[in-house]
A and B are shown apart, each in its own frame.
Chain A
Amino acid sequence: MKDLAIIGYGAAGFSALIRANELGIKPVLIGKGEIGGTCVNVGCVPSKKVLWIGGVYNYAKKACGEGCYPDFFNAFIKKEETVKQLKKAKYEDVLSYYDVELINGEAHFVSPFGVKVNNKLIEAKKYIIATGSSPIIPEIKGLREAGFWTNVEALSPRKKVESLIIIGGRALALEFAQMYRRLGVEVALIQRSPLLIPNYEPEVSLKAREILEREGIYVITRAEVKEVLRKGETKIVKTNKGDIEGEEILIATGRKPNTDIGLEKAGVELNERGGIKVNEELRTTNENIFAAGDVIGGPMLESLAGKEGSVACENAIKGTHKKIDFLSVPQVIFTQPNIAKVGLTQEEAEANYEISSRIVYMKDIAKANIIEETEGLIKMVIERNTKKILGVNIISEHASEIINEASLAIKLRATIDDIIDTVHVFPTMSESLKMVSLSFYRDITKMSCCVD
């Protein structure tokens, strides 16, 4: 019997593998499909690459004052080069540095301690399930007959499209909307909720919509898709708000955990989100089986998956009781400007705390003016009496960098005074975090640079 079997070789699986070796264990690593999972193949890495290419041309457009777009196919060729390079460096080569038994194939539990892979039985004392997630395809009349893209096809298009209809209004939808718009494609975005990204602060959601619309993306909200029709080479999306016709449809309505691995045979139950039910230590309802990453059905984030893989492995092997501080886990939408959050929104915080909140607009941040990126805002929510920071939402240039400091502050249960007492570099966008902290005490629009 093996000591440890890890099912899935994406971020969570690899993190578990490395931790296992550090703890003196050689695991069996079972995976199917492209090594590296969603992130490096059809997720974060390729999407951020194409977004970055569009961003470079957008800067050029600002500087030159003329419309210019990258070559459509060349953008995806460059993306593929980066995917190949990072997949080799971060996954294929990494495998050779560690002691592991790799098995390519699909694992299915046949008992509480056994899986079958390629008709071979493997038994292990402990398991970590890290099988990731797949796109949710909504049941819409005519959709399957008409055909559609998911993130996979949208990151490797076989044809050049002039128009794209995106169904969905969260992170994936926003990133693909801007990505394709900046490749010169006309884009419409159909969202069911009243706001885009409804899990963010509403001020941030409205600003995001404003920015996307200014780039020429057509956004309709409170829209219910009734039917999809194919008309020759085009597709028509019929909604309660009217019809939109375009060349292709991208489904970006979320992702579902990959749990079709015979969990019932192992006594592993699912949660209300359709993911694997785990306790705070990432232990499933079978005490010898742990789960990590998207398969849990929580926030589907690469960095969180990596952390979970490591924690699950340590708890499984050492019998420790490590937990993850979910409050301080940041998340980012890599549009330009970035959209980032950590902790609670005002609405979430109000349910359990007496709170105060403040907003600072980027036009009041010196660095934003210097780099001519004054679009956006930062909002902070604190516990009124203790002044502890409960949540930060940002939409601004480089928000993906700024949010890390906010994340650390929440992890350390820091107060706004801790941020204020920390000298920040001037001029930086990170100063916005200090300014929003100061704004609880004074009007920051009436301050000179670096006043403390």
Chain B
Amino acid sequence: MKLRINAKKEELRCENCGIALSTYNIYKRKINGVEHYFCCSHCADEYEASAIRCC
């Protein structure tokens, strides 16, 4: 039998600004032991700063 798929794919987006990520703009940073994905280091800095404020 062929595959029967009823499962959704998810596009990877910058966890700070929401832009779609590609091989041209992806940036990874581990924050509090968890890997996060951004479009640039500035977004990662903003996200990390807000994460620190939240905690």
Contact = CB atoms under 8 A, between A and B. Distances in A.
B23 interface: yes
A241 interface: yes
Contacts of B6: 242-244
Contact of A194 (B5, B8, B12): B12
A220 B8 contact: yes
Interface residues of A, number: 37
Contact of B21 (A188, A206, A247): A206
Contacts of A195: 12, 37
A160 to B, nearest CB: 12
Which of A194, A234, A347: most chain B CB closer than 10 A?
Answer: A194
B53 interface: no
A17 B26 CA distance: 46
Contacts of B9: 218-221, 241
Interface in A231-274: 233-234, 239, 241-247
Interface string A207-236: 100100000001111110000000001100
B29 A347 contact: yes
A206 B5 CA distance: 22
B42 interface: no
A198 B35 contact: yes
A289 to B, nearest CB: 33
Contacts of B23: 203, 206-207, 210, 377
A429 B37 CA distance: 30
Interface in A356-405: 377
Interface of B is mostly: loop
A101 interface: no
Given A203-B23, A206-B21, A207-B23, A186 B10 contact: no
Interface in B20-41: 21-24, 26-30, 35, 37
Contact of B28 (A220, A246, A347): A347
B55 interface: no
A244 B28 contact: no
Contacts of B24: 203
Contacts of A220: 7-10
B1 A163 contact: yes
Nearest to B12: A194
B49 interface: no
A350 B29 CA distance: 9
Given A186-B2, A198-B35, A347-B28, A221 B10 contact: yes
B32 to A, nearest CB: 14
Contacts of A246: 1, 3-4
B3 A241 contact: no
Interface in A143-159: none
Nearest to A164: B3
A241 B12 contact: no
A220 B12 CA distance: 11
A162 interface: yes
Nearest to A201: B28
B37 A163 contact: no
Contacts of B8: 220, 241-242
B4 to A, nearest CB: 4
Nearest to B22: A206
Contacts of B37: 194-195, 202
A165 interface: yes
A195 B1 CA distance: 28
A129 to B, nearest CB: 31
Contact of A206 (B1, B4, B7, B12): B12
A57 B29 CA distance: 39
A346 interface: yes
A346 B29 CA distance: 9
Interface string A178-201: 000000001110000111001001
Given A206-B12, A241-B7, A242-B7, 5 more contacts: A187-B3, A206-B26, A221-B12, A245-B5, A350-B29
7 contacts: A188-B3, A193-B35, A210-B23, A222-B10, A233-B1, A242-B6, A345-B28
Instruction: State the 6 A-B residue pairs at the shortest beta-carbon distance, nearest first.
Output: A242-B7, A245-B4, A202-B26, A163-B3, A186-B3, A203-B23
